[in-house]
Amino acid sequence: MAPRPLKAVLTVAAAAFSLTAAPAQAADPDPFIWTEPARTYVATGMYDYEPYAVADGYTPTSCVPGMGYHYVNEETPT
C-alpha cells in the first residue's frame, strides 16, 4: 500500500477508536435529585386514584391538550 492511503486509513482508524474507546462518565448525581421529588411523591401519592382526589375536594378542569386533566382545590392555599 502506498504511504498516502496507508496514512489515511490509519488516521480514520485512530479517530474511530478514540471516539469509542473511552465513553464519557457521568458525575455522581446530587442527592437533592432524589430527595426533593420523593417528598412530592409522598404528598401526592394518595391521589393516584382519581376518586380519592375528588373526595378530598379537588375538581377536574377541562382537558389540557397534551397534558391531560388538572385538578384544583380552591380551598387549599397555594
**Cα(63)–Cα(66) distance, integer angstroms:** 9
Range of the domain at 67: 28-78
> 15 lies in a domain?
no
pLDDT score recorded for residue 17: 61
Residue pLDDT, tens place only, 15-27: 666 655 555 676 7
> 43 lies in a domain?
yes
pLDDT score recorded for residue 23: 59
Q: How many domains does the chain have?
A: 1
β-strand partners of 59: 72
Sign of the torsion angle spanned by Cα atoms 8, 14, 18, 19: positive
Residue pLDDT, tens place only, 37-64: 888 888 888 888 999 999 999 999 998 8
> 1 lies in a domain?
no
Residue 41 sits at the vertex; the CA angle it makes with 56 and 34, to the nearest 5 degrees, is 165
**Cα(76)–Cα(17) distance, integer angstroms:** 59
